[in-house]
Amino acid sequence: MLPIPIEKTFTYAVTDEEASFLKKGMRVAVSFGKSKMYTGLVFNIHETAPTLYEAKEIHQILDEVPLVNDLQLKHWEWIASYYMCSLGDVFRASLPSAFLLESETIIYKNDTFKEESILEDDEYLIFEALQHQSQLTIHQVAKILGKKKVMPLVNELIKKTAIYIKEQIYEQYKPKLVKYVRLHAAYNSDTSLNMLLQELSRAKKQREAVLTFFQLSTTKKPIKAKDLELKAAVSPTILKSLVDKNILEFYEIQTDRINFEGDTNALKKLNEFQEIAVSEIKQNFKEKDVILLHGITSSGKTEVYTKLIQEVLDAEKQVLFLLPEIALTTQIITRLQVYFGEQISVFHSKYSMNERVEVWNNVLENKTKARIILGARSSVFLPFSNLGLIVVDEEHETSYKQFEPSPRYNARDAAIVLAKLHKAKILLGSATPSLESYFNAQQKKYGFVALNRRFGNVQLPKIELIDVKEKQRKKEMKGHFSDQLLKLIQEALDLKEQVILFQNRRGYSPVVECKTCGVSPQCPNCDVSLTFHKFKHELRCHYCSYQRAMPNSCSACGSNTLDTKGFGTEQIELELKDLFPDFKIGRMDLDTTRGKFGYQKIIGAFEAQEIDILVGTQMLSKGLDFENVSLVGILNADTMLNFPDFRAHERAYQMMVQVSGRSGRSKKQGNVAIQTYNPYHKILQQVATTNYLEMYKEQLQERWQYKYPPYYRLIKITLKHRDYNKVDTGVNWLFKALYSSFGELVLGPTAPAVSRIRNQYIKNIVIKIPPKQSLADTKNKVIKIRNTFEAVKEFRPIRFIMDVDAY
Ligand code: ADP
Ligand code: ZN
Ligand code: ZN
């Protein structure tokens, strides 16, 4: 199997001796094409010589033991066939790139590596060569050493961390740092303390802070800077000036795995509802392999998972815990680490190469420190040998679906298949299940367990809908805020509670328009208007990285009458700063979280209550748990409802209920205020009453009526090319061909809402597959048509993308 998008596997020749050593799942270096060298994977060992080509010899065996096991190979085959992609695509997506050296792979020296003494002679030669030349390809390494078989040597250099290979430089997962204060070394005896207090007799606030510090130190626990500020009722500047005077000093402690070394804590005692849920789940698992846990927000699903995880660990089996987005879920990671400490490994495609290689090997060897894998979607590819349980948290999340590049898989569905291969159980959890999972539960395909009480019996938040049209008419809007929302914010702030405001658009305003001629500045590469970002005074495209300075005048008519329309998070943040000048406003969207540890910084600051009001996009809907939030405001519900997609209403419901769920989680019932032009919209009514079942029934009815999932399946075909006419001709040809096979079940061709991205024109065709029609037959027919399409010379340059379950 080669890590390239080619349907077939290839046969290579091995000697008797090699054949007796080789096993399925080992890597071999092989040449392919004219002069290319790849890392291939042994998929099968057989004695049938190929008829169409002569088998080349393999170059070298790269592993002593298989790197990929049989269950994985079976899983890959399922993915390739279900999602209509090549095995090579799955192979490449599955393995950390460090495992896939090829002749063109570029290596670099690791400048922090200093243990040159551990390098063998040949290894040192290459390491030294990299002092003179900033990079080398594997091909050049072979030349320098005067031999062909160099991949194991390069692998060894990577293992010893002397070099790294070119890939995106990823951020490493860094634990969150918490700021603490202690007394400066100069002041540790009573005498100096008295002097100190005298010295500060005229700085009242500083004196207060020092006194409070001594009160707090009697507990002998480390003192958080934030706690001291709160207790002494002083601002951070006061502490800072005490530090400047060398009276106090700041230090940091990692609130992370480092802390948990060898140290685990007992699981929390479940309340009666959680207990019932756990026993129902266990009961259900006797008959069903998949269970949907529908637990409302803050019902304590995480604690239910931990109970089940513990039992699987006791049976010495592996656990996979899937999360939609690692960066946003550090809270859950920390919570699980408190219980399971060293047995947890976190896996994420954005981790550094070395970390990913390390986790891979630990899972492969079934090490105790990789008994529980917490990971985003790509962790379904790890070499598990002994899975007992998979948990898919927030199973409804779109981030489980990979849209680009191939394989375009849904990790939740791939995990269900993975569990089956391991004869393991799988639990899907959500407060707002996807329609298809709930449907499967209703059809008794999955088991079903509900958890309908918030932990601590706090009630679900009180949700009110605010009619913006009405408010505008009565002149009760200030900027984008209704008087009612402002009143609720003020009340929360007065009680020292925190507020979350949700606006699902970033930037200042999504459209700039000339008042004289009506023209909007467009992206030169995409078919979309540019978004205005006020802080940087820029226009940006949210589809490609294009940006330019905001012009002073209209480029079409020259008048200086450019105006902004619509609003994003940046505008809300600025308005809030005017409205609440004494409070700290934070913003969480793609623009503010881009930097190093951007998410953790903002989440951490909000947790530490350094931020009073947090404005953000859908990132805020992802399972965050803040105890002091008593109000969630949704500034404009309508954009979500008007999105042109068959799932728009389901998604809008999920997003709003999830965001609302951040309110009032710990002490008392929270509030939610939703501003809309459409207060009678049925989805908003369902959100306001958290009536999942009604939403489900209505949506399901529409799905049946309009032939959509979960009844009909969808395969989406996308064609892309720089030349509009080429795509257009291609798509029309394709449509005719598909139509003759599938008739009315083929929809299109259509241009998506943004019909050109990065200078590529885009056309879509959707094929609907009725409940009783064979999926395999349909796919075979589609593949035949694609092959014919690709055989037409003028269509060959067109990108042909197939996406199964493209939602
Ligand atoms: P969900 O994932 O269902 O939204 P969480 O698991 O985040 O809910 O739980 C909500 C809050 O309640 C968390 O702060 C959690 O620590 C707390 N909690 C849940 N169950 C328990 C328990 N059995 N004992 C103590 N605290 C709990
Ligand atoms: Zn103009
Ligand atoms: Zn663009």
Q: What is the pLDDT of residue 349?
A: 66
User: Alpha-carbon torsion 353, 358, 363, 368, what sign?
Assistant: negative
| Atom of ligand 1 minimally distant from the CA of 297 | 4
Helix (H) or strand (E) holding 387: strand 387-393
Paired strand residues for 766: 716, 747
Residue 95 forms part of a structural domain: no
Rounded distance between C-alpha atoms, residue 350 and residue 323, angstroms? 14
Pocket test for ligand 1, best of 302, 304, 622, 667 (most atoms within 8 A of CB): 302
| Atom of ligand 1 minimally distant from the CA of 302 | 6
Q: What is the pLDDT of residue 170?
A: 37
Rounded distance between C-alpha atoms, residue 390 and residue 644, angstroms? 34
Q: What is the pLDDT of residue 473?
A: 95
Question: Residue 632: which CATH number?
Answer: 3.40.50.300
Residues across the chain: 807
User: Percentage of the chain with pLDDT > 90?
Assistant: 60
Q: What is the pLDDT of residue 444?
A: 96
Contacts of 769 (CB under 8 A, 6+ apart): 712, 713, 714, 715, 745, 775, 778
| Residue 518 tokens, joined | 């009506």
Residue with the two structure tokens 């449509």 = 735
Rounded distance between C-alpha atoms, residue 804 and residue 83, angstroms? 5
**Among 166-180, 202-216, 647-661, 702-716, the least confident range:** 166-180
Residue 259 forms part of a structural domain: no
Residue 175 forms part of a structural domain: no
Same domain membership, residue 608 and residue 631: yes
Same domain membership, residue 551 and residue 520: yes
Final residue before a domain boundary, out of 566, 583, 613: 566
Give per-residue pLDDT as tens, 258-289.
333 445 677 888 999 999 999 999 999 999 99
- Mean pLDDT confidence for 455-466: 91
- Cα-atom radius of gyration of the chain, to the nearest Å? 29
| Residue 335 tokens, joined | 């919570």
| Winning range, highest mean pLDDT, from 76-80, 177-181, 539-543 | 76-80
Q: What is the pLDDT of residue 259?
A: 37
| Nearest ligand by distance to the CA of 430 | 1
Same domain membership, residue 292 and residue 193: no
Give per-residue pLDDT as tens, 237-254.
899 898 888 888 888 765
Q: Would you say 744 and 796 are in contact if contact means Cβ atoms under 8 Å apart? A: no
What strand order describes the sheet that includes 223-224? 223-224, 177-183, 248-254
Contacts of 585 (CB under 8 A, 6+ apart): 573, 576, 577, 611, 612, 613, 614, 615
Residue with the two structure tokens 């207990």 = 275
**Among 223-227, 436-440, 472-476, 647-651, the least confident range:** 223-227
Contact 302 CB / ligand 1 (< 6 Å):
yes
Residue 53 forms part of a structural domain: no
| Nearest ligand by distance to the CA of 757 | 3
Domain that holds residue 237: 185-246
Question: pTM for this structure?
Answer: 0.83
| Atom of ligand 1 minimally distant from the CA of 627 | 14
Pocket test for ligand 1, best of 298, 301, 334, 336 (most atoms within 8 A of CB): 298
Final residue before a domain boundary, out of 702, 729, 759: 702
Question: Residue 767: which CATH number?
Answer: 3.30.70.600
Same domain membership, residue 498 and residue 394: no
Residue 519 alpha carbon to ligand 3 centre in Å = 17
Same domain membership, residue 502 and residue 517: no
Residue 729 forms part of a structural domain: yes
**Among 277-291, 350-364, 490-504, 741-755, the least confident range:** 350-364
| Residue 99 tokens, joined | 């495992």
Ligand 1: which residue has its CA nearest to atom 16? 300
| Residue 760 tokens, joined | 């590529």
Confidence of residue 171 (pLDDT cuts 50, 70, 90): very low
Same domain membership, residue 587 and residue 686: yes
Closest to 592 (Cα-Cα) out of 625, 621, 618, 616 = 616
Same domain membership, residue 285 and residue 233: no
| Winning range, highest mean pLDDT, from 148-152, 374-378, 387-391 | 387-391
Contact 270 CB / ligand 1 (< 6 Å):
yes
Contact 497 CB / ligand 1 (< 6 Å):
no
Same domain membership, residue 359 and residue 307: yes
Ligand 1: which residue has its CA nearest to atom 4? 298
Q: Would you say 502 and 632 are in contact if contact means Cβ atoms under 8 Å apart? A: yes
User: Percentage of the chain with pLDDT > 70?
Assistant: 95
Contact 664 CB / ligand 1 (< 6 Å):
no
Contact 271 CB / ligand 1 (< 6 Å):
yes
Q: What is the pLDDT of residue 731?
A: 97
Give per-residue pLDDT as tens, 74-122.
999 999 999 999 999 999 999 988 888 887 788 888 888 888 889 999 9
| Atom of ligand 1 minimally distant from the CA of 451 | 3
Same domain membership, residue 719 and residue 690: no
- How many CB atoms within 10 Å of residue 5? 13
Ligand 1: which residue has its CA nearest to atom 18? 300
Confidence of residue 593 (pLDDT cuts 50, 70, 90): confident
Contact 301 CB / ligand 1 (< 6 Å):
yes
Give per-residue pLDDT as tens, 602-658.
888 898 899 999 999 988 887 788 889 999 999 999 988 887 789 999 999 999 999
Contact 764 CB / ligand 1 (< 6 Å):
no
Rounded distance between C-alpha atoms, residue 442 and residue 436, angstroms? 10
Same domain membership, residue 786 and residue 719: yes
Residue 268 alpha carbon to ligand 3 centre in Å = 49
Same domain membership, residue 576 and residue 698: yes
Final residue before a domain boundary, out of 661, 680, 702: 702
Residue 62 forms part of a structural domain: no
| Atom of ligand 1 minimally distant from the CA of 625 | 7
| Nearest ligand by distance to the CA of 523 | 3
One-letter amino acid for residue 340 of the chain: F
Phi, psi at residue 540, to the nearest 5°?
-130, 150
CA-to-CA separations, 377 to 394, 402, 577, in angstroms, rounded: 12, 8, 38
Residue 1 forms part of a structural domain: no
Ligand 1: which residue has its CA nearest to atom 14? 625
Contact 455 CB / ligand 1 (< 6 Å):
yes
Residue 648 alpha carbon to ligand 1 centre in Å = 30
Three-state SS letters, 514-559: ECCCCCCCECCCCCCECEEECCCCEEECCCCCCEEECCCCCCCCCC
Rounded distance between C-alpha atoms, residue 531 and residue 557, angstroms? 20
Contact 179 CB / ligand 1 (< 6 Å):
no
Paired strand residues for 614: 500, 586
| Nearest ligand by distance to the CA of 527 | 3
Residue 230 forms part of a structural domain: yes
Confidence of residue 255 (pLDDT cuts 50, 70, 90): very low
DSSP3 helix / strand / coil % (the chain, rounded to 5): 40, 20, 40
- Helix (DSSP H) and strand (DSSP E) numbers for the chain: 27, 34
Ligand 1: which residue has its CA nearest to atom 6? 300
- Mean pLDDT confidence for 401-418: 96
| Nearest ligand by distance to the CA of 554 | 2
Residue with the two structure tokens 């243990």 = 115
Tell whether omega for the bond before 770 is within 30 degrees of 0, i.e. cis: no
On average, the pLDDT of the chain sits at: 89
CA-to-CA separations, 382 to 535, 726, 752, in angstroms, rounded: 42, 41, 35
Rounded distance between C-alpha atoms, residue 481 and residue 594, angstroms? 28
Ligand 1: which residue has its CA nearest to atom 2? 301
Same domain membership, residue 421 and residue 394: yes
Closest to 25 (Cα-Cα) out of 68, 65, 87 = 68
Rounded distance between C-alpha atoms, residue 298 and residue 455, angstroms? 6
User: Looking at the 3D structure of the chain, how many domains does it have?
Assistant: 6
Helix (H) or strand (E) holding 657: helix 648-660
